[in-house]
Structure 1
């Protein structure tokens, strides 16, 4: 008999009495052992992890697999602050079976957002989360070089000349909404900003980016569909992209309905040879050929359009909801904004793109809202090669994840005194107060952007995955805020933050009480 076979026989003989005793236990005792085994394994794994000197400190947890998912999911910034106090800026925690290494502050921004493409991957981190929402072949469901080219394709609709044309269209849509929606009927009333702002965002974004024809095909129900897509971005979706749950079914239905709407328009324009230069849809149909000679399919174009509008939906809907709620507690700021708008526009009511550049307090109000309420509280990357934490001996292993949270830095007194106070005038000071301007640029394939990410203020992310819609967001939000201030005065009570999804929205009820200006 060979040596391996003999060892197996010996092991079997030694285990037989133990297995017999185990089998003789009562059902209750067997169930107790089965329940205890995962906890024993988890505690043993944590002990062995802590004995490795090159590992990042691990946040202790009791519940196997779940790890720290509950405190992180309920209050991520509070969770980070507690861990920072105990472990420092760099620590790891278990999230639904995945080890997440967090690096807080500007050094963490630099470490993760400017990491080499070969070392970390956004595609590997997000594809299970985003592909069911956006669809196949776009954003994170394709190689990084294709994503960079998709950004370049989309940027044709994000130029200064485009913004000049967009401002009157956005104002027209907002005023139409004020004049036709029931919750703005009369001289005074109350509105839920979690209903009004997603709808206004969809109508203004579709009117400008996708054109009048597409805008006329959309109604209030489309805002609800995009809300259903939003709810596909939760921690559970991060681990389980497909489950037989109602929220997953609503997500999939929303994607199919929206994609089919875009496809109908694309198909009609192709059949009628009606491809001009009206909107982003025309632009993508005319020019969406990759550098390797392959072209995006019609379905991929439709999916990319979902992603483009979704990016704006995150920022503009949540940000406008938050600045309305904050301003509802600050009638003094509403009056200041009103006076600033009058000083720039004079007797005119219509605002232009050039006017927006002169409205300092309007822009600072948006900037301050983004500081306090960055739409995404966490940004992930999957580690593809062992990654050394700068200025340390700690190594993040391949297969783990790294997490950065610019929103945590932006709400920290260390970088922004009285960080919990909504104060747009803090931005009246020079840029050096928040890390300074960085003129060093890099082109990842979709145009030059700032290379540095060491500032504590990064509401649009950084590096190759930085949001390309920053200037569009300021144009859309600025026009929207000006139109609100010109039309209404309002009051509100600021709600707490709802962290149940990856997007930081206000908890219900999130209402403002408005009355029309009589001036």
Structure 2
């Protein structure tokens, strides 16, 4: 009978231990692959993403991978992994978004990677905190003009109301005064195509355009709109202001970089970024405020104390006025906390360790503000609308609460966040100044997008 020598046994044992340690060290997060190759769990995920993430989180824990349209997406739904996501040098933002940018705006990856940082700095500078004073007067005038156009009383769908108010204001300020159409037919056409583009944006960022005929049609319509108007935008000079619009600054940079042919494409990206979040946040802020009578009453008392008796006369809103009405900003930020986007993404360049898992290179690492904002450690009673919690934030120094990730974090936070907050603040002030408002329907669940608003123009009290 032959025996295996002790030396061989020791060697085999060492190999087994090394393989086990390597397996443990390279243990990947649990993976949801779906049943269809390449598509993976795309259909289930696409129907109700937040519900899909919640079920996966309950089943697999705070870190898990989902295969969608040939892409591995590893989700981090709680505070574990935040430091890796935000601080690791092996995590990259630009490589994570280059494919969606290519699909949704037809900007080639090499052009996007070359220009992104320069364009980001340009846009951030134009809409940064030190330039906000330049927009306050414009926003007030534009919003008052649009409110006059929308009438003085009646009932309307709140989502529709916000779109009709904020679409023209945002377009005219960021691109050029008068760019937004005034003809009713053309207004409807703009709304139709932008809404189709916005609602299909997530699918458009992943799927071939040939599979999304209506979305592709709206994308081409919007690109043609910018193609037609870029020359006028470039040469436009405001009668009142001497500084260029945000889009004019973008065009100047594109001209310097010899990429003027991509001007309509970057115009489309700027349009989508400026409208896709501002309108829903304004919608939900009004819905939350009007569904909390004490908060609504306090806001109304504050507006009256700053601007006097409400009525039809035009008012001017200054930075000092806004500082006297902090509750409005708290309401907006609390709304964003509760209605934050499902995920923000980064590309993993080299394997990174999160908890007991190793996330491989090539994965998209997905951080979930939706769940982070519901962590009771940072936000007590997280499901309640409590704007007073924002007293603890140092907003004077432009700092948010810990674990608030709605605008992203790190190097590439949303460059337009301060302008968006300013626009919604002034919007709330003016609507509550000119109108008595109440909801006809109860506050909807998040998946619903519409709620009915009742408004009646206020009487001027002598």
Distance change (3 Å), C-alpha of 1:286 and 1:58: closer
- Residue of structure 2 equivalent to 1:481: 428
1:480-499 deviation per Cα after TM superposition (whole angstroms, max 9, x unaligned): 1111111222214222333x
Does residue 166 (structure 1) correspond to residue 115 (structure 2)? The answer is no
1:207-262 deviation per Cα after TM superposition (whole angstroms, max 9, x unaligned): 3222324346796333433223213422x434323224333333332332332243
> Normalization by structure 2: what TM-score?
0.80
Shift of residue 372, structure 1, vs aligned partner: 0.5
Does residue 514 (structure 1) correspond to residue 455 (structure 2)? The answer is yes
Give the aligned length: 425
Q: Which structure 2 residues correspond to residues 59-78 of structure 1 after superposition, within 5 A?
A: 59-60=31-32, 63-65=35-37, 66-78=39-51
- Residue of structure 2 equivalent to 1:303: 265
Does residue 96 (structure 1) correspond to residue 69 (structure 2)? The answer is yes
Match among 78, 81, 104 for residue 54 of structure 2: 81
- Residue of structure 2 equivalent to 1:254: 221
- Residue of structure 2 equivalent to 1:462: 409
Kept after mapping to 2: 8 A contact 1:411/1:419: yes
Does residue 130 (structure 1) correspond to residue 101 (structure 2)? The answer is yes
1:180-228 deviation per Cα after TM superposition (whole angstroms, max 9, x unaligned): 23xxx45332x22332323322212223222324346796333433223
Shift of residue 160, structure 1, vs aligned partner: 4.8
Work out the CA distance in 1 between the residues paired with 2:126 and 2:35.
48
**Helix, strand or coil: the match of 2:277?**
helix
Match among 135, 144, 155 for residue 124 of structure 2: 155
Does residue 389 (structure 1) correspond to residue 353 (structure 2)? The answer is yes
Distance change (3 Å), C-alpha of 1:458 and 1:147: same
Shift of residue 268, structure 1, vs aligned partner: 6.0
Does residue 227 (structure 1) correspond to residue 195 (structure 2)? The answer is yes
Shift of residue 516, structure 1, vs aligned partner: 2.4
Q: Which structure 2 residues correspond to residues 244-393 of structure 1 after superposition, within 5 A?
A: 244-266=211-233, 277-288=243-254, 295-346=257-308, 349-374=315-340, 376-385=341-350, 387-390=351-354, 392=356
Distance change (3 Å), C-alpha of 1:296 and 1:285: same
Distance change (3 Å), C-alpha of 1:365 and 1:187: same
Comparing 92-101 and 458-467, the one that deviates more: 92-101
Shift of residue 456, structure 1, vs aligned partner: 1.7
Shift of residue 366, structure 1, vs aligned partner: 0.5
Distance change (3 Å), C-alpha of 1:178 and 1:96: same
Work out the CA distance in 2 between the residues paired with 1:472 and 1:419.
26
- The unaligned stretches of length 5 or more in structure 2 are 1-21
**Helix, strand or coil: the match of 2:443?**
coil
Kept after mapping to 2: 8 A contact 1:56/1:101: no
Shift of residue 370, structure 1, vs aligned partner: 0.4
Q: Which structure 2 residues correspond to residues 420-431 of structure 1 after superposition, within 5 A?
A: 420-428=383-391, 430-431=392-393
Kept after mapping to 1: 8 A contact 2:197/2:215: no
Distance change (3 Å), C-alpha of 1:172 and 1:455: same
- Residue of structure 2 equivalent to 1:207: 172
Distance change (3 Å), C-alpha of 1:411 and 1:141: farther
1:358-403 deviation per Cα after TM superposition (whole angstroms, max 9, x unaligned): 31101001011100111x3112233333x222454x3222232211
Work out the CA distance in 2 between the residues paired with 1:390 and 1:192.
45
Kept after mapping to 1: 8 A contact 2:444/2:451: yes
Distance change (3 Å), C-alpha of 1:510 and 1:454: closer
- Residue of structure 2 equivalent to 1:496: 445
Kept after mapping to 2: 8 A contact 1:120/1:384: yes
**Helix, strand or coil: the match of 1:336?**
helix
Q: Which structure 2 residues correspond to residues 155-194 of structure 1 after superposition, within 5 A?
A: 155-160=124-129, 162-181=131-150, 185-189=151-155, 191-194=156-159
Does residue 400 (structure 1) correspond to residue 363 (structure 2)? The answer is yes
**Helix, strand or coil: the match of 1:497?**
coil
Shift of residue 114, structure 1, vs aligned partner: 3.1
Work out the CA distance in 1 between the residues paired with 2:70 and 2:115.
30
1:29-73 deviation per Cα after TM superposition (whole angstroms, max 9, x unaligned): xxxxxxxxxxxxxxxxxxxxxx95423332456523444445533
Comparing 376-385 and 459-468, the one that deviates more: 376-385
Shift of residue 285, structure 1, vs aligned partner: 4.4
> Normalization by structure 1: what TM-score?
0.72
